Amino acid sequence: MKQEGSYTSLLNTRVLRGLLSLGGKGYFVQRGWLQSYKHKQALSPTGEPIPWLTYSFLDFIEGRLNKELSLFEYGAGNSTFFFAKQVKTVRSIENNEEWYAKIKGNLPTNVDISFVPLGDKAYQEAILHENSDFDIVLVDGRERVACLKNAMQKLSNKGVIILDDAEREKYKEAFEYMKAKGFRHIPFSGIAIGAIHDKSTVVFYRDQNCLGI
């Protein structure tokens, strides 16, 4: 998933001063947004790592995960730590070798991570080489539409696919593809860690899915 963000590019001085003037009050403080800005990483109000997904999605997913679920993610990071605490296994694929080397030694024991460089479809097709299907696939790395299509072949009967930054025009094809495959979707829009613009994290699902939708 996303690596440590560059907050300085997101806020001009006037906006930042306004947020900091809130002191210990307000939505940005309550959600841990300002704390994340200070430490340059995505954190909960209690200082725990959280994914760079929309707050509305994080509210939705709370209480819906369990230790019987398996998760595959394109892109490692805070999401890896976050989901490892709440599901049985996390299989993570990372294309940035420097980032992979930085985090691989600190991951929980239920995480299996691999470095897979971009090119020759190796990254987008990584999931096809797995021996088992997955209940949740998080698509938040590179080549997202291709990754999403390949994920369909390794999705369990109760499986769901999560696509971040789904508001981007270049991911429109993903919606058309999933609809043709019989999936519905729920968009979770709003702000996220490191962003004050509106963005969207989308869940694609079918009946009898693992999230109880």
Question: pLDDT digits over 144-184, tens only?
Answer: 999 999 999 999 999 999 999 999 999 999 999 999 999 99
Tell me how many domains the chain contains. Answer: 1
Cα–Cα distance measured from residue 110 to residue 67, given in angstroms and rounded to the nearest whole number: 11
Task: Show the tokens assigned to 181.
Answer: 């495959």
Residue 37 inside a domain? The answer is no
Which CATH number belongs to the domain containing residue 179 in this structure? 3.40.50.150
Q: Given pLDDT bands bounded at 50, 70 and 90, which one contains residue 25? A: low
What confidence tens digit (pLDDT) does each residue in 76-88 have? 998 999 999 999 9
Residue 138 inside a domain? The answer is yes
Residue 146 inside a domain? The answer is yes
Residue 125 inside a domain? The answer is yes
Residue 156: give the domain boundaries.
Answer: 55-205
**pTM to 2 decimal places:** 0.84
